Amino acid sequence: MTHQREIQAAFKVSIPVMMGYSVLGFAFGLLLVSFDYSWYLAPLMSIFIYAGALQFVAINFFNIKAGLIDIAIASWFVNLRQSFYGLSLLKKYKKAGKLKFYLIFGLTDETYGLLTTIDEDKQLKKEWYYFFLTLFNQSYWLAGSTLGAIVGSNIEFNTAGLEFSLTALFVVLCMEQYKKLKNNLPFIIAIIASSLALVFIPSDKMLVFSIAFSLIFLFVLKSKIEAKHE
C-alpha cells in the first residue's frame, strides 16, 4: 500500500483525538438537530467548515438569524488563534506542495498539539504523514457529528455537559506538551495571561486578549524560556 508507513504512524498518533472528537462531534450533531435542523447539515458543516468551536457557535448564529458581517467578525475572533498556530508551522509545511492547502484548512487545536508534541519518525515522508494525520482527525469529527445528528433525529437526548469533552482533550494535550518541554515558564505565563483576561476583559473577547497577553510575556521572557529548554 502506498504511504502505508505514514498512514499507520498517523493513525496511531491520532487515537487520543479520535476519542475526543468522536464524543464532541456526536454532541455537536445532537445539539444541531435538537434545534430542529436537518441531520445532513452536520456532515456538510464538518466537511466544509471543520472548526469545532465555531460550529457550536454557528448554531446560535442560525437561531438569531445573524447577518453575514456579524458572522464574519465573530468567526474571525473565534479562529484568530489559528493564525499563530500557522506561523509556527511554516517550516513543517514548507515542502508540503499540493497538500499544503488541505493542511492549512484542516489545522485545528488538537492537530497542532500533536504536530508540536509527538516525536516524528525520520523515515516518514513528512508531508504525507501530516496529511493523513489531519485527514484522520477530520474523519473522526465528521463521523461523530454525522452519527450524533442521525441518532438525535430519532432519539431524544439531554445534551447538557457533553461539550466538556473538548476541554478534557485540551487538558490531555497540555499535559503532553509539558512532558515534552519540561519547562514550567510557558505554562505559568499561560495561567497569568488567562487570569488577567478573565478579570479585566469581557468574556466574548477573553480568548483573543489572553493570546495577546501570552505573546507579550513570551517575547519579553524569550531568552529565559530558550535557556531552560536547552
**Shared-domain flag, residues 71 and 156:** yes
pLDDT digits (tens, 9 = 90+) for 97-120: 889 999 999 998 889 888 888 777
Domain assignment present for residue 176? The answer is: no
Domain assignment present for residue 26? The answer is: yes
pTM value is 0.71
Domain assignment present for residue 167? The answer is: no
Residue 205 belongs to what domain range? 183-230
Domain assignment present for residue 79? The answer is: yes
**Shared-domain flag, residues 139 and 230:** no
Residue 148: per-residue pLDDT = 93
pLDDT digits (tens, 9 = 90+) for 25-77: 998 898 888 888 899 999 999 999 898 777 877 877 777 776 777 677 767 76
**Shared-domain flag, residues 98 and 192:** no
For residue 208 the three cell numbers come to 483573543
**Shared-domain flag, residues 17 and 84:** yes
Domain assignment present for residue 169? The answer is: no
